[in-house]
Amino acid sequence: MFELSHFSAAVVFAVFASVVFGITQRNTAREMVRYGLYCFVLFVGGVIAAGWVMWLIRR
Amino acid sequence: MASNPDTSSTSTATRFEAPPLTARTVGITALAWLVPGAGHLLQRRWWRGVLLAVSIVAMFVFGILMQGKVYSPNTGDVLDMLGFLGDLGSGALYLVTKAFGLGHSALEIAAADYGTKFIIVAGLLNIISMVDAYDIAIGKKS
């Protein structure tokens, strides 16, 4: 029906969650954007880091 | 000889007192739960409300399209009960989904597990959004 790869699902998840976190956890527009981007980078960076860790474990 | 620590700062510290519940506050909070983003839109936080609505609704719809599991009220496994509470956080989205029999009651493909998480997290994000709308309504946040 509608299938996303592991990575694209993680990116879509990161986008939506970061938008909500940014808006709800900060007070000014500038801070919201900065915090949203920070969350997005942490989400996606965490996925990539975890992927490399699993690759190293598998070797 | 060491002097006693100054305790006067604790007595002068500002204490947050919860404001009284008003019909407006309760109404905004309830509507924020029922319709994602509505709490912000009602308080004229236009772009915040639209972004919250789009994010939460899109996440929920993606979860349904990915054949995610939609939990029903249950008294079985703890994770199933928590899953139901997470789903319920989506408000009207969950109610409409159950009313029209959308979503799946069991995982049929591996990728559907992602969909299940999308649906639960959409509900949890809506709860965060609802609390934010409440904070704006009581003047704790601009």
Q: Provide the CA B53 distance to its chain's centre, in angstroms.
A: 11
Closest Cα of chain A to B1: distance in Å?
45
**Domain extents in chain A:** 6-58
Q: What is the DSSP letter of B21?
A: P
Which tokens belong to A10?
């993680």
**Domain extents in chain B:** 22-137
Which residues of A are less than 8 Å from B141 in CB distance?
Answer: 27
How many other CB atoms sit within 10 Å of the CB of residue A29? 12
**pLDDT for B1:** 45
Kindly provide the ipTM of the predicted complex, given to two decimals. 0.91
Which tokens belong to A16?
């939506």
- B131 and A20: CB-CB below 8 Å? no
**pLDDT for B60:** 97
**pLDDT for B142:** 87
**pLDDT for B12:** 54
- B66 and A20: CB-CB below 8 Å? no
- Mean pLDDT in runs of 10 for chain A (59 residues)? 86 97 96 98 97 93
Amino acid at B65: L
| Digit-coded pLDDT (tens) for B35-93 | 999 999 999 999 999 999 999 999 999 999 998 999 999 888 999 999 999 999 999 99
What are the residues whose beta carbons fall under 8 Å from the beta carbon of B37, sequence distance 6 or more? B48, B49, B50, B51, B52, B53, B54, B56, B129
Which residues of B are less than 8 Å from A17 in CB distance?
Answer: 55, 59, 121, 125
pLDDT band for position B18 (cuts 50, 70, 90): confident
